[in-house]
């Protein structure tokens, strides 16, 4: 007998450990692994169960527009029956001294039926609506009480949860976590007082269990001081993590690029224009970085056409003049080729050797390029630059154009090619200021906020695709006037071959419809030599109308092109539309962009088209894009691996971002253990890629 008992005890134990593993798994889905995580798992919203509303009052108030969240009623069950029309459901009548109401349950268990038996006293929360048989509550939350069961003193939190983990169970776990020792306060009392913020622990207690009279609106808007204290802490953790990565890189040595600036001066002298003020300022910032004995990590932001290539070229001058090599990496072959042509046009007259490396070079040609790349002053190319077998003897500067197109891994690989080359990352997808300050806090950021003089704003028009004929007449008119046109094919994300088919079809029907024009076609499936030939012909003015897929999205620079037509513009993202549109408006003539769209438009597509129609400034477009999409998608691959902010909102909490930035610097410099503590409680092990 004892043996049998033993087995039973063991089985019970096994069952309970299986249960706790299942619970741990569910918590993990919510990002909860430690006690801190429970404390930092904050309610989505609250329900007010601190008051009971008389049934009669509740019924009256539904006649006005009801406030959200519903009401709480308490009364005795005076009727309870299962009905089968139209389907099986439980209909319950609840009455208090003022009146009675129907509660309707479409799904219910026997134990719920028992709880709702006639004579029981029940408290229920829900929204009242007018049903077929009068006012009712459908599926209210309820519990059985005694007539004198006290009301709770605080608002009831509703937590984000996951399948199989009930609100009540999660609330209990959080209650327990909150009942243990308070978390240490890391910020100074004086600072908190002057910023009018509570301690973190007080803030957490408040947010988990707000008193009945808490300011509901400030709570919902997450602008209550308690919310602000929590968000500040979260932003601090992010800043500390990124600034620490930034500081760690400063410990790594890099060649100091000391030059008199003669090469740069010679380059500037041969240009037919002057540098803009913004270009001069940014060049000075970069030059100072290159002088330093640790690697530059600078992000250069500038709208399309702001002249980033030239800024990079001047940095390259500093590397080459001081006896080192520079590499210039672009995301597509077309763009790399363009840069190669432009940069060799600038550098060859100065006696600097410029080499071109792409993945499509093979055999002997490739071997020769690789040999030359070992010592050339400047190597331009695609990610072929970072492949196995490519060696540089003295690489000191890596320029990465359109950095948002490259993954973190590729950037790290380029860094490993030299000791620790200086890195200049360029992006024409402007990152809104607050986003740059938070997610890019491991970088220095320069902004080219001025376009070269004489640029004419691009006129954007929207047209339903039924108006294609008119658009074609306009294309004909432009070409007759000696200008050139891009025709961008619809984006088909899910299928490369469909995309190709569409490009071929578009080219075919345009050729038929506009027989007098010389029409070219460029798409991703062409061999690189073919692509280059088409682009060269377009640049030389031999092609009037270039049908293209998004391969021309970034960087392409043909000043005589003054009109761009984009088909199915509703399928493109905002950054992409802005990039594409930036291909025109580069010459002296007025330029325009026609966005053809097909109805029906989704609300987001409509919002995007409205934004691109109304705005020409890339930074403003980026800001609106951030509002539309949130930071997760916005930063894309750059920080994949870096946890996103859960509570702070970069738009509404911009002031907190600034405070966090300054505070993080102070903590790192003066109280590194405290900085660690903050980072640890928010990020734990989640911080990964940045250490690389």
Residues at the contact surface with ligand ADP, assessed by CB under 6 A: 273, 275-276, 279, 302, 304-310, 428, 452, 555, 557, 586
Q: Beta strand pairing status for 545-548 and 378-381? A: unpaired
Chain position carrying tokens 């409205």: 610
- CB-nearer residue toward ligand ADP: 490 or 555: 555
Considering the complex, state which of residue 232 and residue 399 has its C-beta at the smaller distance from Mg ion.
399
Measured from the CB atom, the residue of 102 and 344 that comes closer to ligand ADP is 344
Nearest one of 134, 107, 117 to 78, comparing CA atoms: 117
The region of 15-23, 165-173, 182-190, 549-557 touching Mg ion under the rule CB under 5 A is 549-557
Residue 623's binding partner, choosing from Mg ion, ligand ADP, none, with beta-carbon cut-off 5 to 8 A by kind? none
Distance from C-alpha of 229 to C-alpha of 660, rounded to nearest angstrom: 11
Say what angle helices 672-683 and 225-250 make with each other, to 10 degrees. Answer: 110
Identify the DSSP state of 552. G
**Nearer CB in complex with ligand ADP: 135/428:** 428
User: Which of ligand ADP, Mg ion, none does residue 490 bind (CB under 5 to 8 Å by kind)?
Assistant: none
Closest separation in Å from C-beta 309 to ligand ADP: 3
The H-or-E segment that residue 103 falls in is strand 100-105
Which range in 449-457, 550-558, 596-604, 625-633 contacts Mg ion by CB under 5 A?
550-558
Residue with Cβ nearer ligand ADP (537 or 557): 557
- Which residue lies nearer to ligand ADP by CB, 161 or 403? 403
* Structure letter (DSSP) for residue 255: -
Closer Cβ to Mg ion, 490 or 555, answer by number: 555
- Whichever of 59 and 282 has its CB closer to ligand ADP, that residue is 282
Question: Does residue 86 have a cis peptide bond before it, meaning omega lies within 30 degrees of 0?
Answer: yes
Q: 273 is in the binding site of which of Mg ion, ligand ADP, none (Cβ under 5 to 8 A by kind)?
A: ligand ADP
The least CB distance from residue 614 to ligand ADP, in Å, is 22
3-state SS class at 304:
coil
**Residues constituting the chain:** 692
Peptide bond before residue 600 is cis, with ω within 30 degrees of 0: yes
Which helix (H) or strand (E) is 282 found in, with range?
helix 277-291
Coil, strand or helix at 600: coil
Collapsing DSSP to helix, strand or coil, 329 comes out as strand
Q: How far is the CB of 558 from ligand ADP (least distance, A)?
A: 9
Specify which residues 448 forms β-bridges with. 302
Residue number of the CB closest to ligand ADP reads 307
Candidate ranges 179-187, 287-295, 354-362, 553-561; the one touching Mg ion (CB under 5 A): 553-561
Q: What is the largest CA-CA distance in the chain?
A: 103
Closest CB 278 distance from ligand ADP, rounded Å: 9
CA–CA dist 5, 215 (Å, integer): 56
Query: Minimum CB separation from Mg ion for residue 286, in Å?
Result: 16
Please identify, using beta-carbon distances, which residue of 311 and 376 lies nearer to Mg ion.
311
8 A C-beta contact, residue 462 and residue 609: yes
Q: How far is the CB of 685 from Mg ion (least distance, A)?
A: 38
Q: How far is the CB of 40 from Mg ion (least distance, A)?
A: 42
Do residues 113 and 90 make contact, with C-beta atoms less than 8 angstroms apart?
yes
Single out the residue of 70, 305, 430, 555 in contact with Mg ion (rule: CB under 5 A).
555
- The nearest distance, CB 350 to ligand ADP, in angstroms, is 16
Q: Residue 403: name its binding partner from ligand ADP, Mg ion, none (Cβ under 5 to 8 Å by kind).
A: none
Q: Which does 443 bind (CB under 5 to 8 A by kind): ligand ADP, Mg ion, none?
A: none
d(CA 562, CA 545): 11
Would you say 140 or 307 has its CB closer to Mg ion?
307
Nearest to ligand ADP of 242, 330 (CB atom): 330
* Distance in angstroms (rounded) separating the CA atoms of residues 596 and 594: 6
Residue 94 bridge partners (DSSP): 77, 101
618 binds Mg ion (CB under 5 A): no
Residues 6+ apart with CB under 8 A from 471: 463, 565, 594, 596
Residue 399 has what DSSP assignment?
Answer: E
Taking the complex as a whole, how short is the minimal distance between the CB of residue 313 and ligand ADP, in angstroms? 9
Binding-residue total with Mg ion (CB under 5 A) = 1
- The rounded distance, in Å, linking the Cα atoms of 608 and 243 is 34
Select from 46, 73, 81, 68 the least CA-distant residue to 136.
73
Decide if 103 contacts 76 (C-beta within 8 A). no
Residue 506 has which token pair? 């578009």
> Quick one: what does residue 208 bind among Mg ion, ligand ADP, none, with the CB cut-off 5 to 8 Å set by partner type?
none
346, 231, 192: which is closest to 651 by C-alpha? 231
Nearest distance in Å: CB 502, Mg ion: 27
In the complex, least distance from residue 267 CB atom to ligand ADP, rounded to whole angstroms:
12
Q: Which residues bind Mg ion (CB under 5 A)?
A: 555
């Amino acid at each position: 007998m004892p043996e049998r008992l033993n087995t039973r005890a063991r089985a019970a134990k096994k069952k309970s450990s299986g249960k706790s593993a299942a619970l741990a798994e569910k918590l993990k889905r919510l990002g909860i692994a430690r006690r801190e995580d429970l404390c930092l798992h904050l309610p989505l919203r609250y329900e007010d169960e601190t008051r009971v509303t008389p049934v009669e009052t509740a019924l009256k108030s539904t006649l006005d527009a009801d406030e959200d969240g519903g009401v709480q009623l308490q009364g005795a069950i005076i009727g309870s029956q299962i009905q089968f029309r139209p389907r099986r459901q439980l209909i319950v009548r609840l009455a208090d001294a003022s009146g009675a109401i129907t509660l309707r349950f479409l799904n219910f268990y026997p134990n719920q039926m028992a709880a709702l038996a006639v004579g029981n006293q029940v408290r229920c929360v829900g929204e009242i609506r007018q049903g077929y048989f009068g006012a009712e509550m459908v599926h209210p939350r309820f519990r059985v009480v005694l007539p004198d069961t006290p009301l709770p003193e605080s608002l009831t939190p509703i937590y984000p949860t996951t399948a199989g983990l009930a609100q009540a169970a999660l609330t209990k776990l959080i209650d327990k976590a909150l009942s243990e020792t308070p978390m240490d306060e890391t910020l100074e009392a004086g600072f908190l007082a002057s910023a009018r913020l509570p301690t973190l622990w007080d803030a957490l207690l408040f947010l988990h269990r707000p008193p009945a009279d808490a300011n509901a609106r400030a709570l919902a808007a997450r602008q209550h001081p308690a919310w602000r204290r929590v968000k500040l802490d979260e932003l601090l953790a992010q800043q500390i993590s990124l600034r620490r990565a930034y500081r760690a890189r400063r410990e790594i040595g890099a060649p100091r690029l000391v030059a008199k600036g003669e090469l740069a001066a010679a380059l500037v002298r041969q240009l037919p224009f002057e540098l803009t003020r913004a270009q001069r300022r940014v060049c000075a910032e970069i030059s100072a970085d290159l002088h330093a004995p640790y690697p530059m990590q600078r992000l250069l932001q500038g709208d399309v056409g702001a002249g980033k290539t030239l800024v990079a070229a001047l940095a390259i001058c500093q590397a080459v003049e001081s006896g080192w090599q520079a590499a210039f990496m672009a995301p597509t072959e077309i763009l790399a080729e363009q840069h190669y042509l432009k940069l060799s046009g600038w550098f060859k007259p100065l006696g600097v050797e410029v080499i071109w490396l792409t993945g499509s070079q093979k055999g002997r040609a490739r071997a020769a390029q690789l040999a030359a790349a070992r010592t050339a002053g400047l190597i331009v190319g695609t990610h072929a630059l970072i492949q196995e077998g490519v060696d540089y003897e003295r690489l000191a500067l890596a320029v990465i154009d359109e950095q948002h197109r490259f993954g973190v891994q590729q950037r790290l690989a380029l860094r490993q090619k030299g000791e620790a080359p200086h890195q200049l990352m360029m992006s024409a997808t402007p990152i809104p200021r607050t986003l740059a300050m938070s997610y890019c806090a491991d970088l220095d950021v320069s902004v080219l906020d001025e376009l070269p003089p004489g640029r004419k704003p691009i006129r954007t028009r929207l047209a339903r695709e039924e108006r294609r004929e008119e658009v074609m007449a306009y294309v004909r008119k432009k070409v007759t006037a000696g200008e050139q046109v891009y025709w961008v094919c619809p984006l088909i994300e899910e299928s490369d071959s469909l995309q190709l088919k569409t490009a071929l079809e578009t080219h075919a029907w345009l050729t038929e419809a506009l027989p007098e024009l010389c029409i070219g076609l460029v798409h991703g499936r062409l061999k690189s030599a073919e692509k280059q030939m088409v682009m060269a012909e377009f640049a030389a003015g031999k092609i009037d109308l270039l049908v293209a897929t998004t391969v021309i999205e970034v960087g392409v620079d043909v000043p005589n092109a003054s009109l761009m037509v984009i088909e199915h513009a509703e399928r493109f993202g905002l950054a992409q539309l802005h990039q594409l549109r930036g291909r025109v408006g580069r010459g002296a003539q007025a330029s325009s962009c026609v966005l053809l769209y097909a109805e029906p438009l989704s609300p987001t597509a409509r919002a995007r088209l409205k934004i691109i129609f109304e705005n020409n400034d890339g930074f403003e477009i980026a800001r609106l894009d951030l509002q539309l999409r949130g930071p997760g998608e916005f930063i894309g691959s750059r920080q994949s691996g870096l946890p996103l902010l859960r509570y702070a909102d970069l738009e509404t909490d911009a002031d907190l971002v600034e405070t966090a930035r300054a505070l993080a610097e102070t903590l790192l410099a003066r109280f590194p253990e405290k900085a660690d503590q903050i980072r640890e409680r928010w990020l734990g092990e989640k911080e990964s890629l940045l250490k690389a």
